[in-house]
Structure formats: C-alpha cells, structure tokens
Structure 1
Amino acid sequence: MLKKLGVIALYIMTGLILYVYGDQLLVWLDNYARDFLLSTIVVATLLSLFPIIPYPIIGGIVGAAFGTTLGAFVIWIGSSGASIIMFLIVRYSFQDWGNSILRNYKLTEKVTLLFEKNAFFAIFLSRLIPVIPSIIVNVYSALSRVSFINYTIASTLGKMPSMMLFAIVGNTLVTNPRDLLLIMLLYGLFVAVVFICFKQWKKRTLQINR
C-alpha cells in the first residue's frame, strides 16, 4: 500500500509542477525546440505522460519547428516513451489491485478476456484514433494480462499515423494551410480502411474457428 501511495503522490506532484510551468514549456518549445533535439524529446515525453496540454498542440509546435519527418519522429518517440513508462508504472505498482477488480464482475471480466484475446489489434486500432485518451489504453492494458512486448509493439506502431498527422498539421499551418483539409480527409480515409480490414479479418477468423 505504501508503494502505491508513493507512486500516486509522485505522479501528482510531478503533474502539478508541469501544470504550473506548462506555459513556459510551450514558450520554450515554440522558440528553442529546433536547437535542442534531445531536450525537446524529453519535454515531449513529459507532456505526453502528464497530459496537461493537449498533445496535438505539442505535435503542431514540434512539427512546425522541425518539419514533417523529424517532427513526427520526435513526438512519436515522446508519446511512445510516455506510454511505455505509464504501462510499467501501473503494471508493477497496481496490477494486482486493478486486475482483481476487472475479474470481480462478469461484464468487466468478459470484456477484459475479449480484450486480452485480441490485445494487439485492439491496442493498435485504439492508437489510430486520436480522440481516444491514451491514458485509458495505457492503464487498462497494464491492469490486464497483456504482455509487455505485445503492448509495446502494438502501441508504438499504432501511434505512428496520428503522430505523423500532428506533425504534418503543424508544418502545414506554417507552410501551406490550404492542404490541411486534404490531410484530414486522407487520414479519415486511412482510419476507415483500417477498420474495414479489421472487421473483415475478424469475420474470417470467426468463420474458421466455427
């Protein structure tokens, strides 16, 4: 119990510090990000781990500073690193407590078993949709019995398109705002195609298992 309370207290304290200095961090990113690549990755990781500022804003600033390719890489590393850190914190501090809750009710147990059975695709697809809070996916995955390897691969791969989108949007706003609508339409089409393919795959899998 003391370990859990210590982890919670540390997380809250760090979050409060970032909340207080969040505006200064944004100003620093806006003015000095392109001159300090490693520092920008650290800041991007912290701001993803503690989502006091919407991450698309961070992605837009970094994309405008570094350009589409390097900007997408920076925020992808930051976001993926934060997700892995959160997973490890929850897995090794709260899984025994959280997993017992998930298995205590029939509905949550069925949902969790289904999630674990299709963990890779469930995590991968959830990462493709930026509106799904990353922290929910991180915590739920950590509380379940999803392996660290499956989570890491699915999460990092699934984050690539959305991080690229954030960087492209930021760079496009600076260089050619007219292309923004086209980018959004293409991303929406990409997500739709992925969902259709996943449904077809699930349908075929069910037919084979019958």
Structure 2
Amino acid sequence: MLKKIGALALYVIIGLLLYLYGDSLVTWLNMYARDFILLTMIVATLLSLFPIIPYPIIGGIVGAAFGPALGAFVIWVGSSAASIIMFLVVRYSFQDWGNAILRNYKPLEKITVLFEKNAFFVIFLTRLIPIIPSIIVNIYSALSRVSFMNYAIASSLGKMPSMLLFAIVGNTLVTNPRDLIIILLLYILFVVIVFGCFKLWKKRVLPN
C-alpha cells in the first residue's frame, strides 16, 4: 500500500510542478534547445510523461531547433522513455489491482486475453495512430501480462513515424511552410492505410 501511495504522490507532485512551470520549460526549449541536446531529451521526456502541453507542439519546437532528422530522434527518445517509465511505474505499483479488475469482468477479460496474444502488433499499431491517447496504451499494457520487452520494442518502434512527423512539421514551418499541406496529406494517407490493414487483420482474428 505504501508503495502505491508513494508512487501516486510522486507522480502528482511532479505533475503539479510541471503544470506551474511548464510555460517556462517551453520558453527554454525555444531559446536554448539547440545548445543542450541531452537536457532537451530530459525535458521532452518530462513533457511527454506529463502532457500538460500537447506533445506535437514540443515536437515542432524541437524539430525547428534541430532539423527534422535529429529533432525527430530527440523527441522520439523523450516520448519512448516517458512511455517506458509510465509502464514500469504502473506495472510494479498497481498491476495487482489492475489485473484483478481486468480478469473479474468477462467481456474485458476476453479482450485482454486477445490483446496479450497479439500484444506486439496491437501496441505497434496503436502507436502509429497519434489520435489514440498514449496514456491509455501505457496503462492498459502495464496492467495486463504483456512482457516488458514486447511492450518497449513495439511501443518505441511504433512511435517513430509520428515523432518524425512532428519534427518535420516544426522544421517545415520555419523553412518552407508551403510544403506543410503535402506532408499532412501524406501522413493522413499513411494513417488511412494503417487503419485499413488493421480492419483486415481484425476480420481474420475476429471472424463474425
């Protein structure tokens, strides 16, 4: 019980501090991100772990500072690290409670069992679609019996395209704003293709 209370209290305290000083961190990113790559990764991790500011904005700022390739790498490290940290905190502090809930309701238990059997693909797919809240994927994966290695690899790989998009958008706004519409249309097409593949996969796994 003390472990759960301590983990929750620490999360709330850090979240409150970021809420109070989040604007200052964004200002710092705008001014000094280019000069402090490691510190920028840490800030990106914190702002992904506590999304008081939409992460695409952070990605855009970092992309404008470092360029699309290095900027994408920096925010990918931050986002991936944040998801892994949250997974570990929930897994080792709350999994016993959460897993009991997942197993006590038959419809939810069936979904969870199916999820665990196809965890790598499902996690990877959900990461490709940025409109799916990352925190839901993090917590649900941690409460289930998905292995840490499967989660970490699938989650990190799946984040690559969206992080690259955020960095490219930020860099394009600074260098050539006219290309922004083409980039967004290409990404929308990419998401539609991924969603279509998911529908086909679901029909095979879950036949009517």
Q: With the length of structure 1 as denominator, give the TM-score of the two structures.
A: 0.95
- Structure 2 CA distance, aligned partners of 1:96 and 1:197? 34
Counterpart AA for 1:97: W
Specify the alignment match of 1:27 in structure 2. 27
- Structure 2 CA distance, aligned partners of 1:173 and 1:22? 23
Q: State the shift of 1:200 in Å.
A: 3.7
Please give the per-residue CA displacement for 1:99-155, whole angstroms capped at 9, x wherever unaligned: 000111111111111111111111111111111111110000000011111111110
Q: State the shift of 1:194 in Å.
A: 2.2
Specify the alignment match of 2:94 in structure 1. 94
Specify the alignment match of 1:108 in structure 2. 108
- Structure 2 CA distance, aligned partners of 1:198 and 1:108? 20
Please give the per-residue CA displacement for 1:172-204, whole angstroms capped at 9, x wherever unaligned: 111111111111111111122223334444555
- Structure 2 CA distance, aligned partners of 1:17 and 1:180? 34
Counterpart AA for 2:26: L
> Any idea what SS the aligned residue of 1:92 has?
helix
Specify the alignment match of 1:161 in structure 2. 161
Task: Spell out the pairing of 1:71-82 with structure 2 (5 A cutoff).
Answer: 71-82=71-82
Please say if 1:134 is aligned against 2:142.
no
- Structure 1 CA distance, aligned partners of 2:197 and 2:139? 27
Aligned length: 207
- Gap runs ≥5 in structure 1: none
Specify the alignment match of 1:9 in structure 2. 9
Cα 1:31–1:110, aligned 2, differ >3 Å: closer, same or farther? Answer: same
> Any idea what SS the aligned residue of 2:52 has?
coil
> Any idea what SS the aligned residue of 1:100 has?
helix
Please give the per-residue CA displacement for 1:47-77, whole angstroms capped at 9, x wherever unaligned: 1011111100100000000000000000000
Give the percent of matched residue pairs that are identical in Structure 1 and Structure 2: 78
Q: With the length of structure 2 as denominator, give the TM-score of the two structures.
A: 0.95
- Structure 1 CA distance, aligned partners of 2:18 and 2:75? 18
Please give the root-mean-square deviation of Cα atoms over the aligned residues, in Å.
1.4
Greater mean deviation of Cα atoms: 131-140 or 188-197: 188-197
